[in-house]
Structure 1
Amino acid sequence: MSLSIHASLDYWFEQPTDVLLQIEAAAIPEQVIDAAHIDITPTEHFARVASHDMIGERIWMRVQGQLLVDYRATVRIERVLDNCLNLPLVAPHQLPGETVQYLWSSRYCPSDQFETFVATEFGGTEGGAKIVAMRDWIAGHFAYVPGVSTSETTALDTFVKRQGVCRDYAHVMITFARAAGIPARIASVYALGVEPPDFHAVAEVFVGGEWHLVDATGMAKERDMAKIGIGRDAADVAFLTAFGTAVMNSQSVEVTAA
Structure 2
Amino acid sequence: MKLAISTELDYDVPEDADLLLQLEAAIIPEQRVISAHIDLPPVQHFARIPGHDTIGDRLWVRMQGHLRVRYNAVVEINRLTADIASLRAVPPHRLPGETIEYILPSRYCDSDEFQPIVAELFGHLDGGARIAAMQDWIYRHITYEAGSSTSSTEAMDTYNGRRGVCRDFAHLMITMARASAIPARFCSVYGLGVEPQDFHAVAEVFLDNTWYMVDATGMSSPDMMAKIGVGRDAADVSFLTSFGDVQYRNQSVKVFPA
TM-score by length of 2: 0.99
Please give the alpha-carbon distance, in whole angstroms, between the structure 1 residues aligned to 2:93 and 2:242: 39
SS at match of 2:112: helix
Structure-2 residue corresponding to 1:12 = 12
1:51 Cα deviation from its structure 2 partner: 0.7
1:110 paired with 2:94, answer: no
User: Deviation string for 1:80-121 (max 9, x for gaps)?
Assistant: 111111111111122111111100000000000010110111
1:51 aligned partner: 51
CA distance in 2: counterparts of 1:185 and 1:67, whole angstroms: 30
Q: Indicate the percent of aligned positions where both proteins have the same amino acid.
A: 57
Q: Tell me the SS of whatever aligns to 2:109.
A: coil
For 1:153-192, what aligned pairs fall within 5 Å after superposition? 153-192=153-192
DSSP 3-state at the match of 1:187: strand
Q: Kindly indicate whether residue 252 of structure 2 is the aligned counterpart of residue 252 of structure 1.
A: yes
What is the CA deviation profile of residues 4-44 of structure 1, one whole-angstrom value per residue up to 9, with x for unaligned ones?
10100111011011000000000011111110110111111
Secondary structure of residue in 1 paired with 2:256 = strand
Q: Whole-Å Cα distance in 2 between the matches of residues 108 and 195 of structure 1?
A: 23
Distance 2:82 2:67 in 1: 41
| Cα distance in 1 for residues equivalent to 2:83 and 2:225 | 16
The number of residue pairs the alignment matches comes to 258
SS, match of residue 181 in structure 2: coil
User: Residue type of the partner of 1:87?
Assistant: L
Query: What residue identity is the alignment partner of 2:97?
Result: G
1:3 Cα deviation from its structure 2 partner: 0.7
Paired position in structure 1 for 2:25: 25
Inter-partner Cα distance in structure 2 for 1:94 and 1:211: 15
Q: CA deviation at 1:132?
A: 0.5
Structure 1: which 4+ aligned runs deviate by more than 4 Å?
A: none
- Report the RMSD for the aligned CA atoms in angstroms: 0.6
Does residue 227 of structure 1 match 2:215?
Answer: no
Q: Deviation of residue 139 (structure 1)? A: 0.7
Unpaired runs of 5+ in structure 1?
none
Report the AA paired with residue 230 of structure 1.
Answer: V
Q: TM-score if structure 1 supplies the norm length?
A: 0.99
Q: C-alpha displacement at 1:79, in angstroms? A: 1.3
Q: Distance in 2 between matches of 1:148 and 1:89?
A: 33
Instruction: Give the match for residue 198 of structure 2.
Output: 198
Aligned-partner SS, 1:114:
helix
Distance 2:75 2:99 in 1: 26
